Amino acid sequence: MRVEIRDFVIASLKEMNYDVGGIDDDTTLGPAGVDLESLSLAELAVRVEDRFKVKFGEDESEQLAMMSVGEFVATVTDRVAQTNGMR
């Protein structure tokens, strides 16, 4: 599941016209990394929410900007597991 989520995140960033060539799990989503602005972070979150049926709160945008790609993928993976466990 983790690989599928990571691949989806990278593909989404590419579709959003970000250069994904040097992105690895340690690359931050915000400044000094991918450099996603708040609207782009929101778009990525919505794409992930739609695809994997998880939710991010409006108050989480700052937290997301500070995460690395690996941390974001781990967060989504955990939420997917929690969601599936609740069914």
* Tens digit of each residue's pLDDT (9 = 90 or more) over 24-55: 999 999 988 999 998 999 999 999 999 999 99
pTM for this predicted structure: 0.91
Cα distance between residue 1 and residue 58, in whole Å: 25
SS3 36: coil
Which of 41, 43, 87, 77 is CA-nearest to residue 60?
Answer: 41
CA 57/CA 49 separation, integer angstroms: 11
Domain region containing 59: 2-86
Total domains, the chain: 1
At position 80, the amino acid (one-letter code) is V
Q: Is 44 exposed, middle or buried (0-12, 13-18, 19+ CB in 10 A)?
A: buried
76: CATH: 1.10.1200.10
